[in-house]
Amino acid sequence: MDSRKKAKEMVTGSIDFHIHSGPDIFPRLLNDMEVAAQAKEAGMAAVLLKSHSECTAARAAMAGYVNDFPVFGGMALNYSVGGLNPEAVKTAVRMGAKEIWMPTIHAAHYLKEVDSVPMFAALLKSGMKGIYLLDDSGRLKESVIEIIEIIAEADIVLATGHISSKEAMVLVEEANKRGVKKIVVTHPTSPMEAYTVEEMQEIVERGATMLEHVVNDTTHQMKNPIAPSVIAEAIRAVGAEHTMMSTDSGQVINPAPTISMENFIYLMLEEGIPEEEIRVMTRDNPARMLGLSL
């Protein structure tokens, strides 16, 4: 069977852990309901909706209810929710959020790299001071410690968002010490993160559960897209047991999430990643992060 046909089949049972849907402050291809309906039609097992501006837990609950399909949400700690705001995290947890991302579009590191994603640049080039997790001594700020403890108690996912690898190393190590069992490093191979292989290996040693790679980083959504081989190299270096494959899709210039997942699987098959490892990365590992039994 050729890789394209195999990839189409392997979408069945997969979980997309990273979809940007509408309504949003940025243009999106599909709304929450459409994402859920298409994922269900494609035979996927679940999806997780992400927004840079608000908690998606309630939106996910409604999309799941209407479509009779598992849809989950989370919250990114940008200025629109108060930044490093423990009370907002408590509320998101009560609403059923499954993932809390550290700052994304308002992270200090990201604002230095804002030209990496042209769609965001016009909105974010305002001279704002970005959010940084560490104090002057290099330790995590008290608000971050409080957020870590809330996440640990709720047993949900802590994700690194768009912070620097320096911040992420400290965050992951501290979160691991404080009992967070689900720690995801968000698209470490993306142009704005650009972890080295050695850094990816180190952050897993410090306690990261999963490295989440996304097909969006290989598309023309990025100013300087990476080659699929970069992701394949990272998978081989760290291992499928510590890796998830998501799409980070939803942009109007990219294919729909279900097609993006198919494309990602196809690219990794073409790079020689074994089928059984891809199933672990697109089904088993995200299910574990969401607490699902498939």
pLDDT of residue 128: 79
Residues of the chain with pLDDT under 70: 1, 114-126
Contact 263, 42 (CB under 8 A): no
Chain centroid to Cα 234, Å, comes to 16
pLDDT in the model for residue 28: 97
Q: What is the pLDDT of residue 199?
A: 98
The answer to whether 187 and 212 are in contact (CB under 8 A) is yes
170 Cα distance to chain centroid? 19
What pLDDT was estimated at residue 93?
98
Which pLDDT value is given to residue 242? 98
Closest CA to 75 of 121, 95, 120, 208: 95
pLDDT value of position 85: 98
Model pLDDT, residue 163: 98
Location of structure tokens 């996440």: 151
Q: Would you state the pLDDT for residue 208?
A: 98
The predicted pLDDT at position 221 comes to: 85
pLDDT of amino acid 170: 98
For position 75, what pLDDT does the model report? 98
For residue 141, which of 166, 167, 106 has the smallest C-alpha distance? 167
User: What per-residue confidence (pLDDT) applies to 126?
Assistant: 64
Instruction: Quickly list H helices, the chain.
Output: 3-10, 32-41, 57-67, 86-94, 108-112, 118-124, 142-154, 165-177, 197-205, 228-238, 257-270, 275-279, 285-290
Residue 204, amino acid: V
